Amino acid sequence: MKTKAAELNCKGCGETLKTKPYLKRQFCSRLCWKNWRANRNAFNELVETPSSDRPCEICEKIFRPEPKLLKRGYGLYCSRICAGLGKRKANESDYEVRIDWYASHGWTALSKKLRNRKKKCQKCGKKGRLVAHHLIDPFPSRNMALLLNEKNIKILCHSCHHKTHAKIPRTKTRCKFCKKLFEHASNKKKVFCNIDCMIANKQKKTRICLTCKKDFIPSHSTARCCSPSCAKKRAAVVKLARRLKRTCPWCGTKFSVPPSRVKKGRPRRPCCSRDCAVVYRTNS
């Protein structure tokens, strides 16, 4: 059964066109589609905006969010930039209060006084750039007494202050060389507390080269020679040592045979040379 042609209005020029329903055409020609795409803003007045289109809460630009975002309650902003501005606008009042507290004359004078008094980090003992850190954050409870309380303030260096506010938890391990406890991030496996301990541990595990009899630091656990040349010489010596010693049954000269020449306890090569083997076989 033939399907009847349906009459639709072109999305670009607005003229009527006859198409089959299953083709889902929106434009009368390819040229009309290209013109509509190039001048989309001009054709927006002719085409009615669907119900899913909405204005952005920051720039008030009309956009169409995805249906998945609308179901989850999102789709309020047209881009990531507007979304960041929206979040900042929501937290603008809290941010301004925090800036006013830490920029006040009382806090700046107290932090400078404590930094000049301590002159070093209370956690690691380093000198240099120091920061006044609150043990209990006064901002969530809006308690001004905790902000200016000296017992609630601890002087730390920049690295220790960053570690206290870091999201990654820290663990303590014992150094393999100096046996001291040190802190490090839990997502990294560390064995030594610093580079000096790592170098000293390598120098401690020196070996004697089997070829030149010199001390060397091994690069891996199975290293027995200090260089590739010494390793080749050592391999040649081992190869000679594995050869089996024999005596020729005809001429009596001593010679060596590799282990591959021996089969089931009997040597394949009983004589020292081919001439001795021919004479030995003819006379035996």
Q: Look-up: residue for tokens 């020609």?
A: 29
Give yes or no for residue 266 having a pLDDT over 60. no
Question: Where do the structural domains in the chain lie, given as residue ranges?
Answer: 6-43, 54-90, 94-165, 170-203, 207-241, 244-283
Can you give the pLDDT at residue 91?
A: 58
What DSSP designation does 246 have? E
Give residue 14's pLDDT band: very low, low, confident or very high (50, 70, 90): confident
Average pLDDT over residues 136-158: 81
* Better pLDDT: 22 or 135: 135
Can you give the pLDDT at residue 155?
A: 92
Can you give the pLDDT at residue 167?
A: 63
| Average pLDDT of every residue of the chain | 77
Lowest mean pLDDT among 26-30, 182-186, 199-203: 199-203
Give yes or no for residue 152 having a pLDDT over 50. yes
Give yes or no for residue 127 having a pLDDT over 60. yes
Can you give the pLDDT at residue 270?
A: 76
Task: Express each pLDDT in 93-121 by its tens digit.
Answer: 555 666 667 777 778 888 889 999 888 99
Can you give the pLDDT at residue 49?
A: 40
Give yes or no for residue 265 having a pLDDT over 60. no
Q: Are the beta carbons of 114 and 134 closer than 8 angstroms?
A: no
Q: Are the beta carbons of 125 and 113 closer than 8 angstroms?
A: no
Give yes or no for residue 48 having a pLDDT over 50. no
Packing angle of the helix pair 92-102, 80-90 (nearest 10 deg): 60
| DSSP H stretches of helix in the chain | 30-38, 40-43, 67-72, 80-90, 92-102, 105-118, 144-147, 158-165, 195-204, 228-241, 274-283
